[in-house]
Structure 1
């Protein structure tokens, strides 16, 4: 997970504030009543300010 984020193992809730821009490989695994996993890339970037805001 990106630095600054944490996942609650009992609820699966992801919370926190991302502190570092970059790409992160995340693997999610589900267990109980079957089992499976998937891996994906999570990109954190800084958006440009809105020119019309």
Structure 2
């Protein structure tokens, strides 16, 4: 999941450099959502691992 967030972030940067503002904004939004999902899943996994022990 983090990999996809980084990929969309790189796409957003490249699109912004070439002047595609709409595509850059969309890719940045997707990257932000994927990163938040990654963080939530990481925290849930950490809590589940602590409770399991």
Per the shorter chain, which TM-score range? under 0.3
More strand by share: 1
Ranked by relative contact order (alpha carbons within 8 Å, sequence separation 6 or more), the top structure is 2
TM-score, structure 1 length as denominator? 0.24
Higher share of residues assigned helix: 2
TM-score (norm 2): 0.24
